[in-house]
A and B are shown apart, each in its own frame.
Chain A
């Protein structure tokens, strides 16, 4: 007991010393995430942030001051995240907030940001509600919208002669929104399609054998998959064992992201059309520079989509503060209007209409190469053409 106390005290002292030594005149950003609860996604994200921070600070920081991120763990609980956000703003004096993977935590911080007038850059959450139905002037979003990625897959699906579709998606808001977006876009392009079965396994609790049987029983021509993580692993294994993917085209949202494709190893599905991040395939330009820098900074590690998002988060913040010329909230808010940021994916813009960035997505076909799942014949697609019309967005966003 005593020992533990000593260790605790020592650790705490170290943390305090370490942070205060740096704190002299740095510009602080509050980064809230589920570092423990979602460790598989949050760790690469954090590494991306740290890489970009080193680059920014080596180049002299922003406004001639070092940029510093304060990382805080919310354990995946929206209530805790709101408390931590308040603390970061009022006690640690951070300029703005970033972070979160889980949509509900992102929405909780966004609601706080709107009420208390804090700037929040939602880097990773998947819910489009952040910038549309529940959007507010203080919340900005980096990650490619779910609607857009589903639309890209629907566009490809419409080119085939498949008409009977099955869908499988985790039973929560992101899953339902993704299926809805895919259906809407596909029906627009090809009105004769029908959806013969919709499967809704509970998130991370999939009963893969049963799901595969239910899909097989409906005899679809093609399948739209939204499951990810361990659900995807189980779905792919049961599905390939039972042959449900044979002779069917499968469209997978996020399936090509290294976070999900890599753990599958040589069992990765082949011939699926997916969105993802083929870092191994990029050959030149800023995309390749990022991959090289990442591999140099973390020997033995390869970049994930989370690493890229983390990296782009820092680049956004740096560009924002440089453009604003100050860390004042009003100046930052003004600077965010059509803010242009140079990223490994090329230039992205934070659209004034809905505070959504124009980060696009890589789409391609999965294959197994040298015992690893990869994306081949991929291309990078700009998102703007796939977004809902400006009128639709205005109608969705609450009056500002």
Chain B
């Protein structure tokens, strides 16, 4: 009994930081519709500022004062981010802003390293709360009890702010219908800035308040972000109470998981998330999302048509140039181009379901890594020839997508995205944990192609043909009747249904196709590298693909491919420099601000304005 109560209290105390960060993210999303990837970075900043201030301000007043001060500082940083980075891109297509926030992550990572150095910082203990209280014989740290008391007050304060004040009324109104709020004469810009301040300050508070239980380190930004996403989704996007309930649920569950299923700690959270989303698609306290009610943000989609003569000639010339690379280019150019082509195919497969199908996936890496692992497992255990294993990659990934798709396509918008994330994390944790079969973190090694394909140049040609073939196949599919039905389901599921299109089946098929093509890219990947590790299934891999699709231009056909080629080349070049993350982050932010329609979209607009092309035509 004593142990049970003690575990419950530990769970409640752990919920504090999680709740603060999650409520901030939830608030920001509710009002601005921005999925702020950089929220973990604000949490990290809160922790670093907290340590710094606590070292200079003495005593209990100094300790609690530092926590409040760091929260305010991080709130101010949030304002800077909102004004400088996000405000210029509010008119861009939905979710485009997440690319900008990704740039912010990179910038903050390097700046933190420059400013505070590489060594982990231990958080100071809270003055006067250093020992334990015995409850039913079990030792409970005093600071845990303090957190358990403080958190509900913060919740109460937020609740009062949201439901009793004028600011709160505006925030709620904007959460429900921000265009109407604008139409009624409320200055949206300042409302957004204010919400960003509040959300960031909460993240900073979370970072500072957890210090006596941990410290500040350079990995904490990405370490917390996935848990925060889970909490926000389970609680319901935009709901503060939901964030509270969900963080308590997850934290308490985690504590009991540690006690009774110690090896399960990685999976548990995502299993719960998947179950909640299947039973209550909009989270425990979320409302049904009304995305697309006012049409899509940004300029309307253009009608698409197959490439014209010029476009085809250009593509053919490009292909020819690539085919001639082994004659002129160095050995390494081929290695680099192999990487780029694989990433292009992966991005193209995501773009197919994202742009044409309107299904934003946050877990596309499940199929890329899934394909790679399928091939690698076949080689490792069945000793099967490379050719067979390679064909198995898209097949297995496609099958995986069929299964996941069946669950996911019941949802839409951000909730669809989050469910894909949950599934991909399930696959990741399975691979990571099932050491006997997958090798866990040590991965599967020595997966090399057959002798006839093993040279760098031979494999380059193989990748060129398969990769470009895959991309052309996807493009062709978009122009087929299937592609047209898919776009119909994206633009209006109801009307598509009325015209006799089976919306579910079309979306399901598109999901499976995208998965299979990602698996094909994964198959190419594993034989080019000779090994595969769980990294290829991580959230980061999914986000990489997402970023390049948006960066290239979500409302174009070739955006993913162009974005992927751009990103891989820039990265290859920049990582030679000391502060490459800072430069890459600034570059991404720069591109996002200069080209809110993506690289391809903006180039297209530019060439039209210069009269090089007439409006409406789309070449590549």
Contacts and interface: CB of A to CB of B under 8 A. Distances in A.
Interface of A: 1, 4, 7-8, 11-12, 15, 36-37, 39-40, 42-43, 72-80, 82-84, 86-87, 90-91, 103-104, 107-108, 110-112, 114-115, 127, 129, 134, 171-174, 176, 197-202, 204-205, 207-211, 213-214, 217, 229-230, 233-234, 237-238, 241-243, 262-265, 267
Given A209-B10, A213-B7, A198 B120 contact: no
A45 to B, nearest CB: 11
B525 interface: yes
Q: Which of B110, B214, B262, B590 has the largest count of A CB atoms less than 10 A from its CB? A: B262
A79 B530 contact: no
Contact of B440 (A43, A75, A172, A241): A172
B132 A8 contact: no
Interface string B118-156: 111110010000111000001101001000000000000
B213 A208 contact: yes
Contact of B575 (A73, A172, A211): A73
B443 A107 contact: yes
Contacts of A90: 330-332, 335
Interface in B238-291: 254-255, 258-259, 262-263, 265-266
Given A90-B330, A207-B254, A214-B262, A108 B533 contact: yes
Q: Which of B14, B213, B572 has the largest count of A CB atoms less than 10 A from its CB? A: B213
Nearest to A109: B531
Contact of B442 (A73, A77, A107): A107
Given A104-B443, A229-B217, 12 more contacts: A40-B118, A72-B575, A78-B529, A84-B575, A86-B456, A115-B530, A204-B223, A208-B213, A209-B255, A230-B120, A230-B220, A238-B141
A5 to B, nearest CB: 9
A15 B336 contact: no
A233 B336 contact: no
Contacts of B131: 241
B141 A209 contact: yes
- For the residues of B in contact with A, the DSSP-based class is helix
Determine the interface band of chain B, counting residues with CB < 8 A from chain A: 35 or more
A210 B530 CA distance: 40
B604 interface: no
A4 B587 CA distance: 8
A40 B330 contact: no
A242 B132 CA distance: 7
A111 B446 contact: yes
B594 interface: yes
B443 A217 contact: no
A202 B219 contact: no
B262 A173 contact: no
Given A73-B580, A77-B535, A83-B339, A112 B332 contact: no
A209 B215 contact: no
* Top 4 A-B pairs, shortest CB-CB distance: A39-B118, A210-B258, A111-B445, A172-B441
A90 B266 CA distance: 40
Contacts, number: 218
B432 interface: yes
Nearest to B121: A263
Contacts of B446: 111, 114-115, 134
A103 B110 CA distance: 24
Nearest to A264: B122
A136 to B, nearest CB: 8
A133 to B, nearest CB: 9
B335 A86 contact: yes
Contacts of A172: 432, 440-441
B82 interface: no
Contacts of B263: 171, 200
Given A4-B583, A4-B586, A171-B433, A210 B118 contact: no
A158 B118 CA distance: 38
A11 B577 contact: yes
Contacts of A237: 122, 125, 213-214
Contacts of A1: 590, 594
A209 B148 CA distance: 14
Contacts of B594: 1
A111 B531 contact: yes
B576 A15 contact: yes
A15 B577 contact: yes
A199 B262 contact: yes
Contacts of B439: 173
Interface in B317-343: 330-332, 335-336, 339
B11 interface: yes
Nearest to B529: A82
